[in-house]
Amino acid sequence: MTDATTTGGAAPRLQTDRLAALRDHFAPVFDRIREGAVGREMASGTPGERELPHAEVRALAEAGFGRLRVPEDRGGSGVTLVELAHLVADLAAADSNIAHLWRGHFGYTELVLLRPDSPGRDEWLQRIVDGAVVGNATSERTGTTLADISTTVAPDADGTWRLDGRKFYSTGTLYADWIYLAADRDGERVTFAVPTDAPGVTGIDEIGRAHV
């Protein structure tokens, strides 16, 4: 496989011209995020006053931050992992909390990129290019490893699939359009993504530790 993920086995290269252009592109968004960072942090532990950065995350998505790793011929920026790290570091310098909540999105993007023959890959790449944000909700309080899950998925009476469970430490899901998660299906651990506006899906902010 040769695309933005690998370069024929060589280490990802840093293309300074492209990185500089992207830094210029995102600079106005980063500056607006930086202006409100202290206020959001000061109110973060006060019940009823916590300011969630929904607008800031959406502004990043609309500016193309979520499609940085998607290859250029698919509508993304095609950056290497090294270049992505630089841009995330720039965002973290403006607001480390907002930078952190993109972790699940970029992790899911890598899964899509690393599975070129998987069903739905083209559809997922297009969603990401169109601005969809993916959050991660794998962790639970039922065990000590990611494999210890109590969430289940099973066919309902009408033939649709029913998902039952609660996920914790789900950083980023409050701002996402899709949630990537794991569940038990008849003793088998399966992973998939569900839209955040699906019936029965509820996200709760537990002072920074979102759960769904």
Give pLDDT tens digits for 106-131: 999 999 999 988 889 999 999 999 99
Q: pLDDT averaged over the chain?
A: 86
Q: Give the pLDDT score at 114.
A: 94
| Short-list 38, 22, 16, 40, CA closest to 90 | 22
* Burial state string for 5-44 with b = 16 or more CB within 10 A and e = fewer than 16: beeeeeebeeeeeebeebeeebeebbeebeebbeebeeee
pLDDT grade, residue 143 (50/70/90)? Answer: low
Confidence at residue 210, expressed as pLDDT on a 0 to 100 scale: 46
Of the ranges 69-73, 91-95, 118-122, which one carries the lowest mean pLDDT score? 118-122
By the 8 A CB rule, do 69 and 4 touch? yes
pTM of the model: 0.84
Q: Element (H or E) spanning 83, and its range?
A: helix 81-94
Domains of the chain: 16-132 (1.10.540.10), 135-195 (2.40.110.10)
pLDDT reported for residue 11: 55
- Look-up: residue for tokens 């639970």? 140
Residue 9: per-residue pLDDT: 55
pLDDT tens for residues 10-30? 555 677 899 999 999 999 999
